[in-house]
Amino acid sequence: MTGMHSLWRRALAEALGTGLLVTVVVGSGIAAAKLSPGDIGLQLLENSFATALGLAVLILMLGPVSGAHFNPVVSAADWWLGQRDGSGLSLRELAAYVPAQISGAIAGAILANLMYGEAAVSWSTTDRTAGHLWIGETVATAGLIVLIFSLVWSGRAALAPAAVGAYIGAAYWFTSSTSFANPAVTIGRAFSDTFAGIAPSSVPGFVFFQVFGAILGAGLVVVLYPGLGSAADVVVPHTGTTESESTDSGVSS
């Protein structure tokens, strides 16, 4: 990996970014249900539009610090694909990123609940356990991994904020599962019994097929881009300091 911020600062950025992403997803879902009662299609449109825009903004805002993974399977793919040439996250960095993402996601759901006058934690009762939904999560996650790493490996990482936001916004509609595609976000959404929630009993199935989709996606990246290089600096290339330096990084997207 290129020059980096200290690990604690990058982990904080991952927690903050994942948390705010869940706040956007859950908060916009609550708002949509209140503003458009009885119209599920319009609610989904409002929720997906806010999520796509919010994700793009968060990538731009925090990508220069941590790479803006906001997703354990993206971080794991970054580590695994980086083994090809010694780039990507180290195991130590992966071990810091994933707990930060999960804890941030939970905090983000709680924040959204509180902003709308809901109980801080209200376990979702929305069952999402079905084979066609698992297929949807596999497709959504595989596509996300292919998109991110094809952009990075072909030198187009600067397009990631718009492209990833657009992909997630579209995948709300073309996948049966409405494209969670993120284990941390899935866990966080279980803490809110609102429009965007998922029952805790449905979480393991979604996470399993998200991991499976990430493996498929990483395999496709290797097949499609065999001669291209680094998996580092996902989602946004970030430059800056080593752990012993203190100057600010520059946004390179």
Mean pLDDT by 10 residues, the chain (253 residues): 73 98 98 96 98 98 96 97 84 97 98 98 97 98 97 92 98 98 98 97 98 97 79 49 35 31
Burial of 245 (0-12, 13-18, 19+ CB in 10 A): exposed
pLDDT in the model for residue 180:
98
pLDDT in the model for residue 235:
54
| Structural domain contains residue 253 | no
| Structural domain contains residue 239 | no
Contacts of 69 (CB under 8 A, 6+ apart): 14, 75, 78, 97, 101, 234, 235
pLDDT in the model for residue 53:
98
Q: How does DSSP classify residue 180? A: -
* Type and span of the H or E element at 199: none
Beta bridge partners of 192: 122
| Structural domain contains residue 149 | yes
Q: What is the CATH number of the domain that holds 63?
A: 1.20.1080.10
| Structural domain contains residue 48 | yes
Residue 178 belongs to domain spanning = 7-224
pLDDT in the model for residue 84:
76
Q: Is the dihedral of CA 203, 101, 170, 146 positive or negative?
A: negative
| Alpha helix stretches (DSSP H) within 154-242 | 160-174, 183-189, 203-224
3-state secondary structure of 204: helix
| Structural domain contains residue 240 | no
